[in-house]
């Protein structure tokens, strides 16, 4: 489960810059999703494994 959340976070984190580079419509929304992915990655890094 932890690995799946990490992969989703990385995917979201990369979506924003890619949308900006290719000038996709609603690129600002992708940047918000990118921020959410960064929060997910940070949260998983700070939460200790059991």
Q: Is the pLDDT of residue 50 over 80?
A: no
CB distance 5 to 40 below 8 Å: yes
Instruction: Give the per-residue pLDDT at 48.
Output: 79
Instruction: Give the per-residue pLDDT at 34.
Output: 96
Write out pLDDT tens, residues 6-49. 999 999 999 999 999 999 899 899 999 999 999 999 999 998 77
More confident residue, 5 or 49: 5
More confident residue, 2 or 38: 38
Q: Model pTM?
A: 0.82
CB distance 25 to 46 below 8 Å: no
């Amino acid at each position: 489960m932890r690995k799946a959340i990490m992969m989703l976070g990385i995917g979201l984190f990369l979506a924003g810059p890619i949308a900006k580079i290719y000038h996709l419509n609603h690129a600002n929304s992708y940047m918000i999703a990118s921020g959410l992915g960064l929060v997910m990655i940070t949260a998983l890094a700070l939460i200790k494994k059991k």
